[in-house]
């Protein structure tokens, strides 16, 4: 639980926001002046501050400056109806360390959800770059120390080779030792060690082919001495992380601020969870990014840029590899299409801009911008390589898991559920080739992106890797930039393919089959950890009448609008799917039935206020009904929970519609919980209805 200070003199904004924080289990303290907020912080116990841009006794930026002058590192969220220019954004995020910038108008539900996602990232025990650099330095020292016994063992093997002649076990063991070092030394910043190990390994392999060749034996001592000398080189300084991902999801829009593209893109960006920052020129955008700010994604109006500016943008995006790019321009302009290819655009939006298409595109690039949090599993028997690769990925924001043996690989896959696998080819027992083939035969893992790694560079090895089903091939030692680029490309492509295969084109929500798969995984995780979980089934009220009386296109607009609103609400970990027709399903991990029903009832009020138009231009509104079931109380499987939620949905329909039922209608025989079973909400909507309805 966190204590959040809301510095805002408008009660119409602060009171609903405080209520939302309390619904999420946090404490909220409302302050109406800068002086009052400073006093509250001086008393201690404040974990985060939400600051309005305009206050009775000062402005928000000046107040944050005073806070930082007091040497306070309390995370700050800045909310304002103005301050949208690039310079103000840089001041807020770079100079003043603001963790989130939000523009009004914004729903209290949405803002509370965004801040809720930030809270775990701003706890005192969160890793900091300095600690990660120290970890890398420690790994370098460990690697340097590990070279000493290797040099000693190799020296003994060379001595035996010269004195007693070729003995296959000793030569094979020596080859294994230098093979591992060959694959990792350069990545630790010791290229001379890696190169010397490569020459020595090649000589040993050549000797194994012709053991009686004295000329091949004679070159071994000189190559060993070169390796031993290189191993005495000092350990390098740790390299800085290649990119730093901010908790703020920022969309940098390069367009004419006075034109139609910039405000339209900014509005959709805020709706899809981005903080938009508008830049009027390529030079201004370049200065923004070269000054240390890296946006989560980039949107560029190509019609606003001349040839020189387009070249500047190309150079800028090339320096920031992996940055999702969305382009807009006149469809008939061939140069626009060519530039879209060169810039690696996620999508090209033709003018005039279509809001729905822009919304879908921004949702896709927002998910792409979050790729850094993707879980990656590394499987390699070389502990040095495991530690190094894990360090590089962790320093660049990935969730990394390391495994040195394949014995329990399937169990680890089920537990971690990685989005990408980095797999060594030469593994003891089972080879990487066989593991790759096995995964491609598995229904659960046949689409998992696999990057195989090895110090072997022969064409036959690469061909064998691709025949086994590998998606990519990386030679040890790797360069950090290459490893990260290959991972990013594979993740982006896999997510795009998954998006096309698993998403409903009309609503943008998960289709039934992938929803069921994800829901079962969430239930298994909840049962393993003991956390609560709720499921809700929703049905749009009188939808057949909408189609019959308003037209099927109007019905499509209702479903599309419902899907857009549902995607922009709730938390990132909540699952949202189209169950079929006008029915939808939501899984809320970590939420009990009462909290879930309250959240869905607030969503009902928002949906009920949406205005739709029929084919003749007449306006109308819609509502929905829902049933909620809780894991444990209402069943232990997805089938049990769906049955109970469906029964309660039927109760909601029978009770007059436009309500959420979370009690009664259970498929289990357990007694009903004590306490009131009906709670009235605004506009006559109900959160819980009496069990007698069923």
Considering the entire predicted model, what is its pTM? 0.50
Q: At which residue do the structure tokens 């006794």 appear?
A: 57
Query: Phi first, then psi: what are they for 266, rounded to 5°?
Result: -65, -40
Look at residue 643 in the predicted model and tell me its pLDDT.
94
**Gyration radius of the chain's alpha carbons:** 29
pLDDT confidence of residue 673: 36
Instruction: Give the Cα-Cα-Cα angle 675, 677, 682 (nearest 5 degrees).
Output: 120
Instruction: Provide the H-helix boundaries in 166-213.
Output: 168-184, 191-209
Task: For residue 437, count other CB atoms closer than 10 A to its CB.
Answer: 14
Give the Cα separation of 638 and 642 in Å (integer).
6
For the stretch 22-66, pLDDT in tens is 877 788 999 999 999 999 999 988 999 999 888 888 888 999 999
pLDDT digits (tens, 9 = 90+) for 498-553: 777 788 888 889 999 989 989 998 998 898 888 899 999 999 999 999 999 999 99
Q: Which two tokens stand for residue 238?
A: 């740790």
Give dist(CA 554, CA 414) in Å, integer.
43
- Which residues belong to the active site? 582
Using alpha carbons, select from 571, 402, 572, 576 the residue that is nearest to residue 502.
Answer: 576
161-175: average pLDDT: 82
Higher-pLDDT residue of 125, 441: 441
SS3 state at 659: strand
* Predicted confidence (pLDDT) at residue 626 exceeds the cutoff of 90: yes
Label residue 339 by pLDDT band (50, 70, 90).
Answer: low
Q: What is the pLDDT of residue 539?
A: 95
pLDDT at 4: 93
pLDDT recorded at residue 67: 92
Summarised one tens digit per residue, pLDDT across range 596-618 is 898 899 899 999 999 999 888 89
Q: Say yes or no to pLDDT of 244 above 50.
A: no
Report helix, strand or coil for 29.
Answer: strand
Cβ 596 vs Cβ 534: under 8 Å? yes
* Average pLDDT score over the chain: 79
DSSP code per residue over 432-483: HHHHHHHHHT-TTTTT--EEEEES---HHHHHHHHHTT-SEEEESSPPHHHH
pLDDT tens across 108-160, in order?
766 777 787 676 543 333 333 444 455 556 667 777 778 888 888 888 888 88
Residue 209, both tokens: 């082919």
DSSP assignment string, 139-177: HHHHHHHHHHHHHHHHHHHHHHHHHH---HHHHHHHHHH
């Amino acid at each position: 639980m966190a204590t959040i200070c809301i510095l805002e003199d408008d009660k119409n904004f602060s009171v609903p926001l405080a209520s939302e924080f309390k619904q999420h289990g946090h404490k909220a303290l409302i302050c109406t002046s800068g002086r009052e907020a400073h006093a509250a912080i001086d008393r201690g116990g404040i974990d985060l501050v939400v600051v309005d841009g305009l206050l009775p006794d000062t402005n928000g930026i000046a107040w944050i400056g005073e806070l930082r002058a007091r040497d306070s590192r309390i995370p700050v969220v800045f909310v304002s109806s103005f301050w949208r220019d690039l310079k103000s954004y840089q001041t807020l995020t770079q100079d003043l360390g603001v963790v989130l910038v939000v523009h009004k108008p914004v729903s209290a539900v949405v803002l509370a959800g965004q801040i809720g996602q930030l809270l775990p990232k701003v706890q005192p025990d969160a890793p900091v770059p300095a600690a990660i650099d120290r970890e890398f330095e420690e790994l370098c020292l460990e690697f340097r120390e590990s070279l000493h016994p290797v040099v000693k063992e190799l020296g003994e093997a060379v001595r035996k080779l010269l004195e007693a002649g070729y003995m296959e076990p000793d030569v094979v063991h020596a080859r294994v030792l230098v093979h591992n070092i060959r694959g990792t030394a350069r990545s630790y910043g010791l290229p001379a060690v890696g190169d010397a190990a490569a020459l020595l390994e090649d000589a040993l392999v050549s000797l194994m082919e012709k053991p009686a060749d004295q000329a091949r034996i004679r070159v071994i001592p000189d190559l060993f001495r070169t390796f031993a000398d290189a191993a005495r080189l000092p350990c390098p300084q740790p390299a800085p992380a290649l990119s730093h991902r901010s908790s703020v999801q920022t969309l940098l829009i390069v367009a004419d601020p006075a034109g139609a593209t910039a405000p339209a893109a900014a509005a959709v960006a805020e709706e899809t969870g981005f903080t938009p920052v508008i830049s009027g020129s390529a030079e201004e955008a370049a200065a923004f990014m070269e000054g240390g700010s890296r946006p989560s994604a980039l949107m560029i109006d190509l019609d606003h840029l001349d040839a020189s500016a387009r070249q500047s943008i190309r150079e800028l995006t090339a320096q920031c590899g992996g940055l999702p790019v969305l382009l807009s321009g006149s469809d008939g302009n061939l140069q626009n299409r060519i530039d879209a290819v060169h810039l690696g655009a996620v999508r090209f939006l033709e003018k005039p801009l279509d809001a729905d298409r822009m919304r879908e595109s921004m949702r896709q690039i927002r998910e792409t911008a979050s790729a850094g949090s993707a879980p990656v599993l590394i499987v390699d028997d070389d502990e040095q390589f495991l530690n190094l690769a894990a360090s590089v990925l962790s320093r660049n924001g990935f969730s990394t898991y390391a495994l040195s043996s394949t014995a329990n690989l399937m169990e680890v896959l089920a537990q971690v559920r990685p989005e990408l696998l980095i797999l060594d080819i030469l593994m003891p027992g089972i080879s990487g080739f066989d593991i790759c083939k096995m995964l491609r035969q598995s229904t659960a893992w046949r689409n998992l992106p696999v990057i195989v790694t090895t110090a072997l560079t022969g064409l036959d090895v690469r061909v064998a890797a691709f025949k086994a089903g590998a998606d990519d091939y990386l030679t040890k030692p790797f360069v950090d930039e290459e490893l990260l680029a290959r991972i990013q490309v594979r993740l982006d492509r896999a997510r795009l393919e998954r998006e096309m295969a698993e998403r409903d084109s009309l609503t943008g929500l998960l289709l039934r089959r992938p929803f069921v798969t994800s829901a079962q995984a969430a239930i298994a995780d909840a049962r393993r950890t003991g956390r609560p979980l709720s499921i809700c089934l929703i049905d749009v009220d009188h939808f057949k009448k909408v189609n019959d009386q308003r037209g099927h296109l109007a019905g499509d607009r209702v479903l599309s609008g419902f899907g857009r609103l549902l995607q922009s609400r709730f938390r990132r970990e909540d699952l949202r799917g189209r169950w079929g027709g006008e029915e939808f399903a939501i899984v809320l991990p970590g939420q009990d039935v009462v909290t879930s029903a309250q959240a869905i009832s607030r969503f009902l009020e928002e949906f009920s206020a949406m205005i739709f138009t029929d084919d003749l231009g007449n306006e109308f509104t819609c509502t929905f009904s829902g049933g909620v079931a809780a894991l444990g109380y209402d069943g232990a499987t997805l089938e049990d929970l769906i049955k109970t939620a469906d029964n309660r949905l039927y109760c909601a329909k029978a009770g007059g519609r436009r309500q959420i039922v979370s009690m009664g209608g259970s498929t289990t025989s357990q007694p009903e919980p004590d306490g009131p079973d009906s709670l009235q909400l605004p506009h006559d909507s109900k959160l819980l209805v009496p069990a007698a309805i069923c």
